[in-house]
Amino acid sequence: MIIVIMDKIKNIIFDLGGVILTLDRNEAVRRFLQVGLEHAEELLDPYHQKGVFLDLEEGRLTKEEFYEEIRKLAGKYISNEDIDYGWLGFVKDTPAYKLEMLEELRKSYNLYLLSNTNPVIMSWALSPQFSEKGKTLDQYFDKMYLSYKIGVTKPNPKIYEYLMLDSGIIPSETLFVDDGIANIEAGRALGMRVFQPKNGEDFRYIFTEKGH
């Protein structure tokens, strides 16, 4: 068991998928194949997307342009709702205990979200359907930094630098929690303390008294 030493930590940056949300890439692939996107297996990645999916996550395509590109790839009409259905297949679960963890941590730390994400997922995450309590994702963080709004995805150092400049945080006073090894290494290279949980892991133990 790894205990993260929280001494002198003032800020915690969380990834979304695989950290707060439990991901299921296979279900997303299954759904996209089901609605008619034959290349879903090649295009969908647990950590970093490719092709039009990456273009959406880096803000080069709007949601509407993305829908059109998916229809072109499929060679047939797929409804916006079916495309959303495919994307949301990634979300296996939003554990209530993790949201409660965020609420508790926010009493002692500045909390930030740094996510490679897209407007389809965020339309859901910013709705009352996100949590059992009807709270939206942004209500759990001091500020959210989203790849499609910033125009770059992790592990590109530019997205970390944007967050640090905008928030004014000091890397040595910051813990970065992400399930992707390349993302973790980029955070470490910038001087942050890091922790890499497994997808769906209950990692509350890193914040135990021994870690303070």
Q: Which stretches of 89-129 are assigned E, i.e. beta strand?
A: 91-93, 110-115
Q: How far apart are CA 96 and CA 20, in angstroms?
A: 10
- Which tokens is 23 given? 């991901």
Residues in the chain: 212
Q: How far apart are CA 83 and CA 119, in angstroms?
A: 12
Q: How far apart are CA 155 and CA 74, in angstroms?
A: 29
Is residue 35 classed as helix, strand or coil in its secondary structure? Answer: helix
Backbone φ, ψ for residue 144 (5° rounding): -115, 135
Which residues carry out catalysis?
15
Rounded to 5°, angle at Cα 184 from 209 and 158? 125
